[in-house]
Amino acid sequence: MKQEELLAKRSGNKCELCEATGSLKIYEVPPATGNMDDAILVCPKCLAQIEKKEELDSAHWQCLTTSMWSEEPAVQVMAWRMLNRLRNESWAAEQLDMLYLDDEKLNWAKASGDHENDSSVELHRDCYGAILQNGDNVVLTKSLDVKGSTVNAKVGTVVRNIRLVPDNKEQIEGRIEGQQIVILTKYLRKQG
């Protein structure tokens, strides 16, 4: 049996954190060793928030009050990590007080360092605070001189099909007059 089939059987074809069904993905809980015991099956909403691609939705994570009691170590570890991210919420702090992990699981849970962070997520945002995603179209809000070129991008220029710069939330990549350039998000407005 393939890993996905084994995880689907183990979870009853449900997200192992929130019990959602449909479009489930395998998530290897870092630091993963490639062992099936290091993986869980999660829904797209849980995955996006685990990977900090979406802001934490406290109401969604109320599911941890149930899933933290799972017998699967990887589920327990993820529940502990997510509860720690939400620790400023009174319900999450109470659940953390009740959740017991033996030393081995606790070391695994702390290995990512994720528990030291708060629930804030750093997303690419335009000048008005709208969240930008790969493939979006944006409009320049300021005329920009392109370094190393004679191109001057005018206010109102539409940049189609942008790519987010992964390590810098203040930059995107896009094409202007056939040239691939990096643009600061503070000079952009999401189109549409």
Evaluate whether residue 129 is within a structural domain. Answer: no
pLDDT of amino acid 61 = 95
Q: What is the CATH number of the domain that holds 158?
A: 2.30.30.40
Claim to verify: residue 102 and residue 142 sit in the same structural domain:
no
All residue ranges of the chain with pLDDT < 50 are: none
pLDDT of amino acid 121 = 65
Evaluate whether residue 158 is within a structural domain. Answer: yes
Q: Count of domains in the chain?
A: 2
Claim to verify: residue 101 and residue 158 sit in the same structural domain:
no
Evaluate whether residue 14 is within a structural domain. Answer: yes
pLDDT of amino acid 146 = 79
Evaluate whether residue 102 is within a structural domain. Answer: yes
Residue after which a domain boundary falls, among 116, 150, 169: 116
pLDDT of amino acid 120 = 60
Claim to verify: residue 44 and residue 103 sit in the same structural domain:
yes
Claim to verify: residue 112 and residue 147 sit in the same structural domain:
no
Q: Which long-range contacts (CB under 8 A, 24 or more apart) does 93-102 make?
A: 95/64, 95/65, 95/68, 98/68, 99/68, 101/76, 101/77
Evaluate whether residue 47 is within a structural domain. Answer: yes
Claim to verify: residue 37 and residue 109 sit in the same structural domain:
yes
Claim to verify: residue 178 and residue 85 sit in the same structural domain:
no
Q: Would you tell me how many other CB atoms lie within 10 Å of the CB of residue 53?
A: 13
Claim to verify: residue 148 and residue 109 sit in the same structural domain:
no
pLDDT of amino acid 12 = 94
The whole domain housing 153 covers 138-190
Claim to verify: residue 109 and residue 178 sit in the same structural domain:
no
Claim to verify: residue 98 and residue 17 sit in the same structural domain:
yes
pLDDT of amino acid 129 = 86
Evaluate whether residue 154 is within a structural domain. Answer: yes
The answer to whether residues 182 and 168 touch, using CB atoms and an 8 Å cutoff, is no
Claim to verify: residue 106 and residue 30 sit in the same structural domain:
yes
Claim to verify: residue 19 and residue 108 sit in the same structural domain:
yes
Claim to verify: residue 26 and residue 104 sit in the same structural domain:
yes
pLDDT of amino acid 33 = 74
